[in-house]
Protein backbone atom coordinates (compact mmCIF):
# COMPACT_ATOMS: atom_id res chain seq x y z
CA UNK A 1 0.00 0.00 0.00
CA UNK A 2 2.81 2.44 0.89
CA UNK A 3 4.65 1.59 -2.35
CA UNK A 4 1.55 2.13 -4.46
CA UNK A 5 0.96 5.53 -2.85
CA UNK A 6 4.55 6.60 -3.53
CA UNK A 7 4.40 5.53 -7.19
CA UNK A 8 1.09 7.30 -7.68
CA UNK A 9 2.47 10.50 -6.15
CA UNK A 10 5.53 10.28 -8.35
CA UNK A 11 3.42 9.73 -11.46
CA UNK A 12 1.29 12.73 -10.59
CA UNK A 13 4.25 15.04 -10.02
CA UNK A 14 4.68 17.47 -7.12
CA UNK A 15 2.81 20.67 -6.39
CA UNK A 16 3.82 23.44 -3.96
CA UNK A 17 3.21 27.11 -3.39
CA UNK A 18 3.37 30.04 -1.01
CA UNK A 19 1.47 33.17 -0.05
CA UNK A 20 2.66 36.50 1.31
CA UNK A 21 0.27 39.32 2.05
CA UNK A 22 0.67 42.65 3.86
CA UNK A 23 -2.08 45.00 5.01
CA UNK A 24 -1.50 48.55 6.26
CA UNK A 25 -3.95 50.76 8.14
CA UNK A 26 -2.78 54.37 8.00
CA UNK A 27 -3.32 56.58 11.04
CA UNK A 28 -2.89 60.30 10.42
CA UNK A 29 -0.21 61.78 12.69
CA UNK A 30 1.00 65.29 11.70
CA UNK A 31 3.36 65.47 14.70
CA UNK A 32 5.76 63.05 12.95
CA UNK A 33 4.89 64.13 9.36
CA UNK A 34 2.72 61.06 8.71
CA UNK A 35 0.03 63.12 7.00
CA UNK A 36 -0.86 65.32 4.04
CA UNK A 37 -0.94 62.59 1.43
CA UNK A 38 -3.81 60.41 0.12
CA UNK A 39 -2.86 57.39 2.24
CA UNK A 40 -3.43 59.19 5.55
CA UNK A 41 -5.96 61.79 4.47
CA UNK A 42 -8.39 59.72 2.39
CA UNK A 43 -7.60 56.08 1.62
CA UNK A 44 -6.68 54.93 5.17
CA UNK A 45 -5.76 51.34 4.20
CA UNK A 46 -3.89 49.40 1.58
CA UNK A 47 -1.69 46.40 0.98
CA UNK A 48 -0.11 43.90 -1.35
CA UNK A 49 -0.03 40.14 -1.88
CA UNK A 50 1.93 37.53 -3.81
CA UNK A 51 0.55 34.02 -4.44
CA UNK A 52 2.90 31.51 -6.06
CA UNK A 53 2.38 27.98 -7.34
CA UNK A 54 4.95 25.49 -8.68
CA UNK A 55 4.35 22.12 -10.35
CA UNK A 56 7.02 19.59 -11.38
CA UNK A 57 6.54 16.45 -13.45
CA UNK A 58 9.04 14.31 -15.37
CA UNK A 59 11.63 17.06 -15.82
CA UNK A 60 9.05 19.79 -16.46
CA UNK A 61 8.62 22.61 -13.93
CA UNK A 62 5.89 25.21 -14.20
CA UNK A 63 5.79 28.33 -12.04
CA UNK A 64 3.05 30.99 -11.75
CA UNK A 65 2.77 33.98 -9.43
CA UNK A 66 -0.14 36.42 -9.08
CA UNK A 67 0.70 39.88 -7.72
CA UNK A 68 -1.86 42.28 -6.25
CA UNK A 69 -1.34 45.86 -5.07
CA UNK A 70 -4.34 47.74 -3.66
CA UNK A 71 -3.50 51.25 -2.44
CA UNK A 72 -0.03 49.89 -1.66
CA UNK A 73 2.68 52.21 -0.34
CA UNK A 74 5.55 49.98 -1.54
CA UNK A 75 6.09 51.63 -4.91
CA UNK A 76 6.03 55.20 -3.59
CA UNK A 77 5.86 55.30 0.23
CA UNK A 78 3.93 58.59 0.17
CA UNK A 79 1.40 57.58 -2.53
CA UNK A 80 -0.98 54.76 -3.43
CA UNK A 81 -0.21 52.15 -6.07
CA UNK A 82 -2.97 49.85 -7.38
CA UNK A 83 -2.34 47.10 -9.91
CA UNK A 84 -3.10 43.40 -10.37
CA UNK A 85 -1.83 40.75 -12.75
CA UNK A 86 0.48 37.83 -13.39
CA UNK A 87 3.69 38.92 -11.71
CA UNK A 88 5.84 36.06 -12.96
CA UNK A 89 5.58 32.75 -14.77
CA UNK A 90 8.03 30.28 -16.23
CA UNK A 91 8.21 26.84 -17.78
CA UNK A 92 11.42 24.84 -17.69
CA UNK A 93 12.44 21.43 -18.96
CA UNK A 94 15.50 19.34 -18.15
CA UNK A 95 16.71 17.31 -21.12
CA UNK A 96 19.72 15.35 -19.93
CA UNK A 97 22.40 18.04 -19.39
CA UNK A 98 20.38 20.89 -20.89
CA UNK A 99 17.85 22.98 -18.93
CA UNK A 100 15.56 25.23 -20.97
CA UNK A 101 13.56 27.96 -19.23
CA UNK A 102 11.13 30.42 -20.75
CA UNK A 103 9.24 33.19 -19.00
CA UNK A 104 10.32 35.24 -15.98
CA UNK A 105 13.88 34.31 -15.07
CA UNK A 106 15.84 35.04 -11.87
CA UNK A 107 19.58 34.49 -12.17
CA UNK A 108 22.92 36.26 -12.01
CA UNK A 109 26.44 36.13 -13.43
CA UNK A 110 29.26 36.02 -10.87
CA UNK A 111 28.43 38.26 -7.93
CA UNK A 112 25.79 40.08 -10.01
CA UNK A 113 27.83 43.17 -10.88
CA UNK A 114 27.34 42.67 -14.63
CA UNK A 115 23.92 40.99 -14.52
CA UNK A 116 21.49 40.16 -11.76
CA UNK A 117 17.79 39.43 -12.25
CA UNK A 118 16.28 39.27 -8.77
CA UNK A 119 13.34 40.16 -6.56
CA UNK A 120 13.22 42.15 -3.32
CA UNK A 121 9.65 42.52 -2.10
CA UNK A 122 10.54 44.76 0.83
CA UNK A 123 11.44 47.53 -1.63
CA UNK A 124 9.19 46.35 -4.49
CA UNK A 125 12.14 45.50 -6.72
CA UNK A 126 11.36 42.82 -9.30
CA UNK A 127 14.10 42.89 -11.90
CA UNK A 128 13.20 39.63 -13.62
CA UNK A 129 14.45 38.90 -17.13
CA UNK A 130 11.45 38.03 -19.31
CA UNK A 131 12.69 35.80 -22.09
CA UNK A 132 14.63 32.58 -22.68
CA UNK A 133 17.38 30.98 -20.58
CA UNK A 134 19.51 27.95 -21.53
CA UNK A 135 21.86 26.16 -19.16
CA UNK A 136 24.10 23.30 -20.29
CA UNK A 137 26.47 21.15 -18.22
CA UNK A 138 29.31 20.42 -20.65
CA UNK A 139 31.02 18.00 -18.28
CA UNK A 140 31.70 17.54 -14.59
CA UNK A 141 33.71 20.75 -14.49
CA UNK A 142 32.19 23.28 -16.92
CA UNK A 143 28.74 24.85 -17.11
CA UNK A 144 27.64 27.33 -19.78
CA UNK A 145 24.45 29.37 -20.02
CA UNK A 146 22.94 31.94 -22.32
CA UNK A 147 19.92 34.20 -22.00
CA UNK A 148 17.99 36.85 -23.86
CA UNK A 149 14.95 38.95 -23.03
CA UNK A 150 13.70 42.21 -21.56
CA UNK A 151 13.75 43.40 -17.96
CA UNK A 152 10.43 43.47 -16.12
CA UNK A 153 8.75 46.81 -15.42
CA UNK A 154 7.09 46.12 -12.07
CA UNK A 155 5.09 49.35 -12.06
CA UNK A 156 3.29 48.76 -15.37
CA UNK A 157 3.22 44.93 -15.28
CA UNK A 158 5.03 44.83 -18.63
CA UNK A 159 8.63 45.00 -19.85
CA UNK A 160 11.18 47.69 -20.53
CA UNK A 161 11.84 47.95 -24.27
CA UNK A 162 15.64 47.40 -24.43
CA UNK A 163 16.83 43.89 -25.33
CA UNK A 164 19.32 42.14 -23.04
CA UNK A 165 21.48 39.23 -24.20
CA UNK A 166 24.11 37.42 -22.16
CA UNK A 167 26.52 34.50 -21.90
CA UNK A 168 28.23 32.89 -18.92
CA UNK A 169 30.69 30.01 -18.52
CA UNK A 170 31.75 28.74 -15.12
CA UNK A 171 34.15 26.03 -14.03
CA UNK A 172 34.64 23.93 -10.92
CA UNK A 173 38.04 22.32 -10.33
CA UNK A 174 39.79 20.59 -7.45
CA UNK A 175 43.56 21.20 -7.61
CA UNK A 176 45.17 18.76 -5.25
CA UNK A 177 43.83 18.04 -1.78
CA UNK A 178 43.43 21.58 -0.42
CA UNK A 179 42.97 23.87 -3.42
CA UNK A 180 39.64 24.46 -5.14
CA UNK A 181 38.81 27.06 -7.81
CA UNK A 182 35.56 28.23 -9.40
CA UNK A 183 36.51 30.48 -12.36
CA UNK A 184 34.00 32.20 -14.63
CA UNK A 185 33.60 34.60 -17.51
CA UNK A 186 30.58 36.44 -18.85
CA UNK A 187 29.48 38.85 -21.55
CA UNK A 188 26.35 40.96 -21.94
CA UNK A 189 24.80 43.18 -24.60
CA UNK A 190 22.01 45.70 -24.07
CA UNK A 191 20.35 47.31 -27.11
CA UNK A 192 18.40 50.53 -26.57
CA UNK A 193 14.99 50.90 -28.21
CA UNK A 194 14.38 53.86 -30.60
CA UNK A 195 12.25 55.78 -28.07
CA UNK A 196 15.02 55.78 -25.45
CA UNK A 197 17.64 56.75 -28.02
CA UNK A 198 15.43 59.66 -29.14
CA UNK A 199 15.01 60.83 -25.53
CA UNK A 200 18.77 60.68 -24.95
CA UNK A 201 19.53 62.43 -28.25
CA UNK A 202 17.05 65.23 -27.49
CA UNK A 203 18.65 65.83 -24.09
CA UNK A 204 22.13 65.83 -25.64
CA UNK A 205 21.14 68.25 -28.41
CA UNK A 206 19.76 70.65 -25.81
CA UNK A 207 23.10 70.93 -24.03
CA UNK A 208 24.27 74.56 -24.26
CA UNK A 209 27.92 73.52 -24.64
CA UNK A 210 28.29 72.21 -28.19
CA UNK A 211 31.53 70.44 -27.28
CA UNK A 212 29.61 68.31 -24.74
CA UNK A 213 27.31 66.87 -27.40
CA UNK A 214 27.84 63.41 -28.82
CA UNK A 215 26.04 60.70 -30.81
CA UNK A 216 24.52 58.08 -28.45
CA UNK A 217 25.08 54.41 -29.27
CA UNK A 218 22.36 51.80 -29.50
CA UNK A 219 24.49 48.92 -28.20
CA UNK A 220 26.43 48.64 -24.97
CA UNK A 221 28.60 45.64 -24.05
CA UNK A 222 29.84 44.43 -20.68
CA UNK A 223 32.39 41.76 -19.81
CA UNK A 224 33.30 40.08 -16.55
CA UNK A 225 35.92 37.62 -15.29
CA UNK A 226 35.86 36.19 -11.77
CA UNK A 227 37.23 33.40 -9.64
CA UNK A 228 36.76 31.89 -6.19
CA UNK A 229 39.91 30.32 -4.76
CA UNK A 230 39.84 28.15 -1.64
CA UNK A 231 43.16 26.95 -0.28
CA UNK A 232 43.11 25.42 3.16
CA UNK A 233 41.92 28.09 5.57
CA UNK A 234 42.07 30.85 2.95
CA UNK A 235 39.35 31.96 0.54
CA UNK A 236 39.62 34.66 -2.12
CA UNK A 237 37.02 35.97 -4.53
CA UNK A 238 37.97 38.49 -7.21
CA UNK A 239 35.96 39.97 -10.07
CA UNK A 240 36.64 42.60 -12.70
CA UNK A 241 33.89 44.06 -14.90
CA UNK A 242 34.17 46.45 -17.84
CA UNK A 243 31.37 48.23 -19.72
CA UNK A 244 31.81 49.95 -23.08
CA UNK A 245 30.99 53.64 -23.45
CA UNK A 246 27.37 54.78 -23.45
CA UNK A 247 25.27 57.77 -22.47
CA UNK A 248 24.93 57.85 -18.69
CA UNK A 249 23.39 60.62 -16.63
CA UNK A 250 26.08 62.24 -14.47
CA UNK A 251 26.51 65.70 -12.97
CA UNK A 252 23.15 66.86 -14.31
CA UNK A 253 23.61 65.84 -17.96
CA UNK A 254 24.23 62.87 -20.25
CA UNK A 255 27.91 61.99 -20.79
CA UNK A 256 29.50 59.39 -23.07
CA UNK A 257 31.50 57.24 -20.63
CA UNK A 258 32.73 53.69 -20.23
CA UNK A 259 32.55 52.03 -16.81
CA UNK A 260 34.30 49.50 -14.62
CA UNK A 261 34.11 47.71 -11.28
CA UNK A 262 36.83 45.88 -9.37
CA UNK A 263 35.61 43.79 -6.45
CA UNK A 264 37.34 41.38 -4.10
CA UNK A 265 36.96 39.59 -0.77
CA UNK A 266 39.76 37.79 1.08
CA UNK A 267 39.16 35.60 4.09
CA UNK A 268 41.03 33.43 6.55
CA UNK A 269 39.42 31.25 9.20
CA UNK A 270 40.52 28.64 11.70
CA UNK A 271 39.45 27.67 15.19
CA UNK A 272 39.31 30.76 17.35
CA UNK A 273 39.87 33.40 14.68
CA UNK A 274 38.42 34.62 11.38
CA UNK A 275 39.59 37.59 9.31
CA UNK A 276 37.89 39.03 6.25
CA UNK A 277 38.83 41.97 3.99
CA UNK A 278 36.82 43.31 1.08
CA UNK A 279 37.08 46.14 -1.36
CA UNK A 280 35.34 47.64 -4.35
CA UNK A 281 36.17 50.34 -6.87
CA UNK A 282 33.28 51.55 -9.04
CA UNK A 283 33.53 54.08 -11.85
CA UNK A 284 30.62 55.08 -14.10
CA UNK A 285 29.04 51.64 -13.96
CA UNK A 286 25.36 52.36 -14.55
CA UNK A 287 23.81 49.56 -16.60
CA UNK A 288 20.05 49.87 -16.92
CA UNK A 289 17.00 48.97 -18.98
CA UNK A 290 15.43 52.37 -18.27
CA UNK A 291 16.77 55.89 -18.09
CA UNK A 292 18.01 57.28 -14.79
CA UNK A 293 15.15 59.27 -13.28
CA UNK A 294 12.41 57.26 -15.03
CA UNK A 295 11.63 55.48 -11.77
CA UNK A 296 11.18 56.56 -8.16
CA UNK A 297 13.81 54.04 -7.06
CA UNK A 298 17.00 53.87 -9.11
CA UNK A 299 17.44 50.13 -8.58
CA UNK A 300 14.22 49.33 -10.48
CA UNK A 301 15.05 48.68 -14.12
CA UNK A 302 18.68 48.02 -13.29
CA UNK A 303 20.40 45.13 -15.09
CA UNK A 304 23.37 45.12 -12.73
CA UNK A 305 23.75 45.07 -8.94
CA UNK A 306 26.50 46.49 -6.74
CA UNK A 307 27.76 44.42 -3.77
CA UNK A 308 27.70 46.27 -0.46
CA UNK A 309 30.95 46.70 1.47
CA UNK A 310 29.41 48.23 4.61
CA UNK A 311 27.77 45.88 7.10
CA UNK A 312 23.99 46.16 7.37
CA UNK A 313 23.39 46.35 11.10
CA UNK A 314 20.25 44.79 12.62
CA UNK A 315 20.23 47.29 15.51
CA UNK A 316 17.43 49.81 15.06
CA UNK A 317 19.40 53.03 15.55
CA UNK A 318 22.44 51.98 13.52
CA UNK A 319 20.23 50.87 10.64
CA UNK A 320 19.16 54.52 10.18
CA UNK A 321 22.50 55.32 8.58
CA UNK A 322 23.22 52.44 6.25
CA UNK A 323 25.08 53.51 3.08
CA UNK A 324 23.77 52.41 -0.31
CA UNK A 325 26.29 51.35 -2.98
CA UNK A 326 27.12 54.03 -5.54
CA UNK A 327 27.33 53.03 -9.20
CA UNK A 328 29.05 56.15 -10.55
CA UNK A 329 31.89 56.83 -8.13
CA UNK A 330 32.89 54.75 -5.12
CA UNK A 331 36.05 53.47 -3.45
CA UNK A 332 35.05 51.19 -0.59
CA UNK A 333 37.20 49.15 1.80
CA UNK A 334 36.18 47.05 4.77
CA UNK A 335 37.64 44.60 7.23
CA UNK A 336 36.32 42.24 9.92
CA UNK A 337 38.08 40.31 12.66
CA UNK A 338 36.39 37.64 14.80
CA UNK A 339 38.28 36.28 17.81
CA UNK A 340 36.92 33.45 19.99
CA UNK A 341 39.35 32.70 22.84
CA UNK A 342 36.93 30.07 24.17
CA UNK A 343 33.43 28.69 23.64
CA UNK A 344 31.85 31.43 25.76
CA UNK A 345 33.35 34.57 24.24
CA UNK A 346 33.30 36.14 20.76
CA UNK A 347 34.97 39.44 19.95
CA UNK A 348 34.12 41.15 16.65
CA UNK A 349 35.81 44.23 15.19
CA UNK A 350 34.94 45.99 11.95
CA UNK A 351 36.14 49.02 10.02
CA UNK A 352 34.57 50.45 6.84
CA UNK A 353 35.95 53.30 4.73
CA UNK A 354 33.98 54.65 1.72
CA UNK A 355 34.89 57.65 -0.46
CA UNK A 356 34.10 58.82 -3.96
CA UNK A 357 36.87 58.51 -6.55
CA UNK A 358 37.38 62.25 -6.11
CA UNK A 359 38.11 61.52 -2.42
CA UNK A 360 34.89 62.97 -1.02
CA UNK A 361 34.16 61.28 2.29
CA UNK A 362 30.97 59.20 2.21
CA UNK A 363 31.04 56.78 5.12
CA UNK A 364 33.22 55.68 8.04
CA UNK A 365 32.41 53.01 10.60
CA UNK A 366 34.38 51.70 13.56
CA UNK A 367 32.55 48.87 15.28
CA UNK A 368 33.25 46.51 18.17
CA UNK A 369 31.12 43.79 19.73
CA UNK A 370 31.47 41.31 22.61
CA UNK A 371 29.29 38.20 22.92
CA UNK A 372 29.38 36.35 26.25
CA UNK A 373 27.69 33.00 26.99
CA UNK A 374 29.45 32.10 30.24
CA UNK A 375 26.36 32.21 32.48
CA UNK A 376 23.91 29.32 32.15
CA UNK A 377 20.76 30.26 30.20
CA UNK A 378 22.02 33.80 29.61
CA UNK A 379 23.57 35.47 26.54
CA UNK A 380 25.03 38.96 26.60
CA UNK A 381 25.98 41.17 23.66
CA UNK A 382 27.70 44.52 24.25
CA UNK A 383 28.96 46.78 21.50
CA UNK A 384 29.90 50.24 20.31
CA UNK A 385 29.72 51.91 16.90
CA UNK A 386 31.16 55.21 15.68
CA UNK A 387 30.20 56.41 12.21
CA UNK A 388 30.40 59.29 9.77
CA UNK A 389 27.57 59.34 7.22
CA UNK A 390 27.18 61.67 4.24
CA UNK A 391 23.48 62.44 4.62
CA UNK A 392 23.53 64.99 1.80
CA UNK A 393 24.45 62.32 -0.74
CA UNK A 394 22.81 59.17 0.62
CA UNK A 395 19.47 60.80 1.49
CA UNK A 396 19.58 63.49 -1.23
CA UNK A 397 19.48 66.35 1.28
CA UNK A 398 21.83 68.99 -0.18
CA UNK A 399 21.98 71.11 2.98
CA UNK A 400 22.47 68.29 5.45
CA UNK A 401 25.81 68.14 7.32
CA UNK A 402 27.86 64.97 7.76
CA UNK A 403 26.25 62.84 10.49
CA UNK A 404 28.69 61.88 13.23
CA UNK A 405 27.24 59.41 15.71
CA UNK A 406 28.44 57.30 18.64
CA UNK A 407 26.16 54.38 19.56
CA UNK A 408 26.71 52.00 22.49
CA UNK A 409 24.28 49.07 22.76
CA UNK A 410 23.55 46.02 24.87
CA UNK A 411 21.37 42.97 24.29
CA UNK A 412 20.52 40.34 26.91
CA UNK A 413 18.76 37.02 26.27
CA UNK A 414 17.50 34.73 29.05
CA UNK A 415 16.15 31.27 28.32
CA UNK A 416 13.70 30.02 30.94
CA UNK A 417 13.45 26.59 29.32
CA UNK A 418 13.51 24.99 25.85
CA UNK A 419 10.47 26.98 24.75
CA UNK A 420 10.38 30.28 26.62
CA UNK A 421 12.88 33.11 26.39
CA UNK A 422 13.02 36.85 26.88
CA UNK A 423 15.26 39.28 25.03
CA UNK A 424 15.88 42.91 25.88
CA UNK A 425 17.82 45.40 23.79
CA UNK A 426 18.98 48.93 24.61
CA UNK A 427 20.73 51.46 22.36
CA UNK A 428 21.76 55.08 22.76
CA UNK A 429 22.90 57.18 19.79
CA UNK A 430 24.72 60.40 20.52
CA UNK A 431 24.75 62.83 17.60
CA UNK A 432 24.20 66.55 17.05
CA UNK A 433 23.12 66.12 13.41
CA UNK A 434 19.87 65.04 11.74
CA UNK A 435 17.22 64.61 14.49
CA UNK A 436 19.80 64.64 17.29
CA UNK A 437 20.37 61.95 19.92
CA UNK A 438 18.17 58.86 20.32
CA UNK A 439 17.32 56.26 22.95
CA UNK A 440 15.89 52.89 21.94
CA UNK A 441 14.60 50.03 24.08
CA UNK A 442 12.99 46.69 23.26
CA UNK A 443 11.60 43.78 25.25
CA UNK A 444 10.69 40.58 23.40
CA UNK A 445 9.11 37.41 24.83
CA UNK A 446 9.08 34.19 22.81
CA UNK A 447 7.16 30.97 23.35
CA UNK A 448 8.60 28.55 20.80
CA UNK A 449 7.48 27.53 18.31
CA UNK A 450 4.20 29.49 18.14
CA UNK A 451 4.21 32.88 19.84
CA UNK A 452 6.34 36.03 19.87
CA UNK A 453 5.55 39.34 21.62
CA UNK A 454 7.58 42.56 21.52
CA UNK A 455 7.32 46.11 22.76
CA UNK A 456 9.77 48.84 21.78
CA UNK A 457 10.16 52.61 21.87
CA UNK A 458 12.51 54.97 20.05
CA UNK A 459 12.72 58.45 21.60
CA UNK A 460 14.43 61.70 20.60
CA UNK A 461 16.16 62.46 23.90
CA UNK A 462 17.91 65.58 22.53
CA UNK A 463 16.05 66.90 19.49
CA UNK A 464 18.15 68.95 17.09
CA UNK A 465 16.20 72.23 16.61
CA UNK A 466 17.68 72.50 13.11
CA UNK A 467 16.50 69.07 11.91
CA UNK A 468 15.46 69.12 8.26
CA UNK A 469 12.13 67.35 8.89
CA UNK A 470 10.71 70.33 10.74
CA UNK A 471 9.83 68.53 14.00
CA UNK A 472 9.67 70.94 16.93
CA UNK A 473 9.21 68.59 19.90
CA UNK A 474 10.66 65.21 20.98
CA UNK A 475 8.60 62.21 19.94
CA UNK A 476 8.08 58.60 21.01
CA UNK A 477 8.08 56.03 18.20
CA UNK A 478 6.33 52.98 19.62
CA UNK A 479 6.11 49.49 18.17
CA UNK A 480 3.80 46.84 19.63
CA UNK A 481 4.28 43.47 17.93
CA UNK A 482 2.71 40.00 18.16
CA UNK A 483 3.31 36.97 15.93
CA UNK A 484 1.70 33.55 15.76
CA UNK A 485 3.20 30.59 13.89
CA UNK A 486 1.00 27.60 13.18
CA UNK A 487 2.72 24.96 11.08
CA UNK A 488 3.52 26.55 7.69
CA UNK A 489 1.51 29.70 8.50
CA UNK A 490 2.77 32.84 10.22
CA UNK A 491 0.60 35.79 11.24
CA UNK A 492 1.98 39.11 12.50
CA UNK A 493 0.19 42.17 13.84
CA UNK A 494 1.89 45.37 14.96
CA UNK A 495 1.16 48.97 15.80
CA UNK A 496 3.91 51.13 14.33
CA UNK A 497 4.95 54.72 14.84
CA UNK A 498 8.07 55.04 12.70
CA UNK A 499 10.41 57.94 12.02
CA UNK A 500 11.45 58.72 8.47
CA UNK A 501 14.75 57.19 7.41
CA UNK A 502 16.59 54.59 5.35
CA UNK A 503 15.14 51.14 4.72
CA UNK A 504 17.62 48.52 3.48
CA UNK A 505 17.07 44.96 2.34
CA UNK A 506 19.45 42.82 0.33
CA UNK A 507 22.00 45.58 0.24
CA UNK A 508 19.65 47.99 -1.55
CA UNK A 509 18.54 51.06 0.38
CA UNK A 510 15.94 53.76 -0.09
CA UNK A 511 14.66 56.69 1.91
CA UNK A 512 11.13 56.31 3.33
CA UNK A 513 8.88 58.90 5.00
CA UNK A 514 7.42 58.49 8.47
CA UNK A 515 4.74 55.85 9.07
CA UNK A 516 1.92 55.71 11.60
CA UNK A 517 -0.66 52.94 11.86
CA UNK A 518 -1.20 49.20 12.01
CA UNK A 519 0.49 46.50 9.93
CA UNK A 520 -0.80 42.97 9.47
CA UNK A 521 0.89 40.21 7.46
CA UNK A 522 0.39 36.56 6.59
CA UNK A 523 2.94 34.18 5.13
CA UNK A 524 2.13 30.60 4.27
CA UNK A 525 3.51 27.70 2.27
CA UNK A 526 1.85 24.57 0.99
Q: What are phi and psi of 271, to 5 degrees?
A: -60, 120
Instruction: Please give the Cα distance from 115 to 111 (Å, whole number).
Output: 8
Interval 339-368: pLDDT, tens: 999 999 999 999 999 999 999 999 999 999
- Residue 335, judged by CB atoms within 10 A of its CB (0-12, 13-18, 19+), counts as middle
Neighbours of 97 (CB within 10 A): 11
Q: Is the pLDDT of residue 97 over 60?
A: yes
Element (H, E) at 391: helix 391-394
Cα torsion for 36, 42, 45, 50, to the nearest 10°? -90
pLDDT number for residue 395? 86
Whole-angstrom distance between the N-terminal and C-terminal Cα of the chain? 25
Nearest to 239 by CA among 271, 217, 269, 262: 262
pLDDT number for residue 79? 87
SS3 assignment for 106-151 = CEEECCCCCEEECEEHHHCEECCEEEEEEEEECCCCEEEEEEEEEE
Element (H, E) at 11: helix 2-12
- How many Cα atoms are found within 13 Å in the side-chain-facing hemisphere of 125? 25
Instruction: Please give the Cα distance from 202 to 215 (Å, whole number).
Output: 11
Q: Is the pLDDT of residue 232 over 90?
A: yes
Q: How many helices (H) and strands (E) would you count in the chain?
A: 4, 32
Instruction: Please give the Cα distance from 97 to 49 (Å, whole number).
Output: 36
pLDDT band at 5 (very low <50, low <70, confident <90, very high): very low
pLDDT number for residue 472? 83
Interval 291-321: pLDDT, tens: 865 554 557 889 999 999 999 898 999 999 9
Interval 381-424: pLDDT, tens: 999 999 999 999 988 888 889 999 999 999 999 999 999 999 99
Average pLDDT, whole number, for the chain?
A: 92
Neighbours of 57 (CB within 10 A): 13
Mean pLDDT of 43-49: 95
Nearest to 128 by CA among 136, 119, 139, 115: 119
Neighbours of 306 (CB within 10 A): 24
Neighbours of 459 (CB within 10 A): 15
Helix (H, G, I), strand (E, B) or coil at 432: coil
pLDDT number for residue 122? 84
pLDDT number for residue 2? 37
Give one DSSP letter per residue of 175-197, joined into a string. ETTTEEEEEEEEEEEEE--HHHH
Interval 236-279: pLDDT, tens: 999 999 999 999 988 888 999 999 999 999 999 999 999 999 99
Q: Is the pLDDT of residue 69 over 50?
A: yes
Q: Is the pLDDT of residue 451 over 70?
A: yes
Nearest to 88 by CA among 134, 43, 154: 154
Instruction: Please give the Cα distance from 223 to 167 (Å, whole number).
Output: 10
Q: 428 versus 4: which is more confidently predicted?
A: 428
Interval 153-209: pLDDT, tens: 988 889 999 999 999 999 999 998 899 999 999 999 999 999 999 999 999 999 998
pLDDT number for residue 422? 97
Instruction: Please give the Cα distance from 151 to 193 (Å, whole number).
Output: 13
Give one DSSP letter per residue of 318-382, joined into a string. GGGGPPPP-SSEEEEEEEEEEEEEETTEEEEEEEEEEE-TT--EEEEEEEEEEEE--STTEEEEE
Lowest mean pLDDT among 2-6, 112-116, 133-137: 2-6
pLDDT number for residue 297? 53
pLDDT number for residue 8? 42
Instruction: Please give the Cα distance from 71 to 426 (Å, whole number).
Output: 35
In whole angstroms, what separates CA 434 from the centre of its chain? Answer: 24
pLDDT number for residue 296? 46
Amino acid sequence: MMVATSVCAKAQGSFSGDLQTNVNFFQRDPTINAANNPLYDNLLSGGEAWLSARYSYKGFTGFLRADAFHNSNLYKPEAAFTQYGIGAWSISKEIKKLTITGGYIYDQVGSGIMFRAYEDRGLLIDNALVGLHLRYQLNDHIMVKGFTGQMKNVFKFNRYEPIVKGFNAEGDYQLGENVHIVPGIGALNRTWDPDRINQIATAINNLPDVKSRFVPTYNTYAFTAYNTLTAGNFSWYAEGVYKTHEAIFKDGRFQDLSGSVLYTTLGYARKGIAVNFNGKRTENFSLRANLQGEDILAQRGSIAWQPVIARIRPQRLMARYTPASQDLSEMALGGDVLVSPNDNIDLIFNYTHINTLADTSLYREVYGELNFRGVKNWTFQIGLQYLNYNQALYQVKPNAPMVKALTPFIEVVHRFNDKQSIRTEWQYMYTKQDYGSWLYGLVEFNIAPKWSFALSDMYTVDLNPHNLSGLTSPQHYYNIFVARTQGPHRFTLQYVRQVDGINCTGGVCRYEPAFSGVKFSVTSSF
